[in-house]
Amino acid sequence: MSRDILEETIACVRSRLGDLDEIVIERAVVGLFFSGVKLSTGHAGSAATPIKDIPEAVCCPSSAMAMPFPGKLRGRKAATLMEEAVGSTGVRRALGIAAVNALAQAAAERCGSPGAQVLSDVDAFDAAEIDAGEKVVVVGAFAPFLRSLRQLGADYLVLEKDPATLKPVEIPFFRPAEQAADVIPQADVLLITGTTLINETLDLLLGLAKPTARVAVVGPTVSMLPDAFFRRGCDILGGVEITDPDAFLDVISEGGSGYHFFGKSARKIVLTPRRIHQGDGSSQLRTQQPGRNPI
């Protein structure tokens, strides 16, 4: 289950930051597309808002009962909110993951990212270095990737629970999420949205990938502490480093997305286990995991 990855990441946060009692929530936001928190340390983290867990369109849905103490998060211990990442589902879980990611950013700033190559202002799609002849499977209707795959003329399929999230041009490539066990083993490149951390499917999806597949997990839900992801065979983590927390939270509170915060209040980062240096002196982003076949 994806909570295993989250539990390992929480343990990593505690190990690297030590006593968390003095770190509290300064601000929390639940936006249309993303949720986020800012800590008293000045660090911030984000996660996708599971909007489909709040299906009612009128006030006031019973799902509002799942909100973690509306209006009362400020001043609460960050470690307490972090534990929601492995507890409840829905909005509480999203805010818990955002707290994990905020603390992970603090930990990465303090301790670095041992064993990882960190690349700033790099898109995870570019880091995946997809060749036109490779079979690509995308988990989740991640619009920028689907557009790039069309432009590349790639052979791809997209696993998605709700086909309504796809454009008409993408429907021929759609496969129901229930077909994951048949579709994912076909992938030479597997691109997974970090939202799978919220719906607890990431570990299962990673386990379906063939040993030679190049695997990327992407999105603002992804942590800057990659240890647990790398141990499960991820080659690329594409996340977000929030550079201006208040501006970032303002944007997502107004329904903003990556189009509005990248290059302004946040930047893209890519983490890989290590960079492989080629014999001609150039270096590639493709990575090699212990126990996996070289790419």
pLDDT digits (tens, 9 = 90+) for 106-127: 999 998 888 899 999 999 999 9
DSSP E strand stretches across the chain: 25-30, 34-39, 44-48, 117-120, 135-139, 155-160, 174-176, 189-193, 214-218, 236-242, 266-272, 276-277, 283-284
Q: What is the value of pTM for the model shown?
A: 0.86
pLDDT tens, 67-94? 555 567 888 999 999 999 998 778 889 9
**Which amino acid, one-letter code, is at 136?**
V
Q: Is pLDDT of 59 > 70?
A: no
What's the CA gap between 190 and 188, in Å, rounded?
Answer: 7
Average pLDDT over all residues of the chain: 87
Output the pLDDT for position 291: 33
91: left (phi over 0), alpha (psi -120 to 50) or beta: alpha
Cβ contacts of 125 within 8 Å, gap of 6 or more: 144, 145, 148, 191, 218, 238
**Which amino acid, one-letter code, is at 242?**
I
What's the CA gap between 6 and 100, in Å, rounded?
Answer: 8
Domains identified in the chain and CATH numbers: 2-111 (3.30.390.100), 117-284 (3.40.50.11590)
Output the pLDDT for position 160: 93
More confidently predicted of 58 and 146: 146
Output the pLDDT for position 187: 97
Q: Is pLDDT of 295 > 50?
A: no
Output the pLDDT for position 275: 53
Residue 128 φ then ψ, to 5°: -70, -20
pLDDT tens, 183-218? 999 999 999 999 999 988 999 999 999 999 999 999
pLDDT tens, 8-27? 999 999 999 999 999 999 99
DSSP state of 132: T
DSSP string covering 158-175: EEES-GGGS-GGGGGGEE
Mean pLDDT of 278-285: 38
Q: Is pLDDT of 57 > 90?
A: no
Q: Are 173 and 156 in contact (CB under 8 A)?
A: yes
What's the CA gap between 278 and 112, in Å, rounded?
Answer: 25
User: In the chain, how long is the greatest CA-to-CA distance?
Assistant: 63
Q: Any idea which residue has 């799609």 for tokens? A: 125
What's the CA gap between 223 and 101, in Å, rounded?
Answer: 5
Q: Is pLDDT of 47 > 90?
A: yes
Residue 279 φ then ψ, to 5°: -65, -25
pLDDT tens, 226-258? 999 999 999 999 999 999 999 999 999 999 999
Name the pairing type of β-strands 276-277 and 283-284: antiparallel
Output the pLDDT for position 61: 61
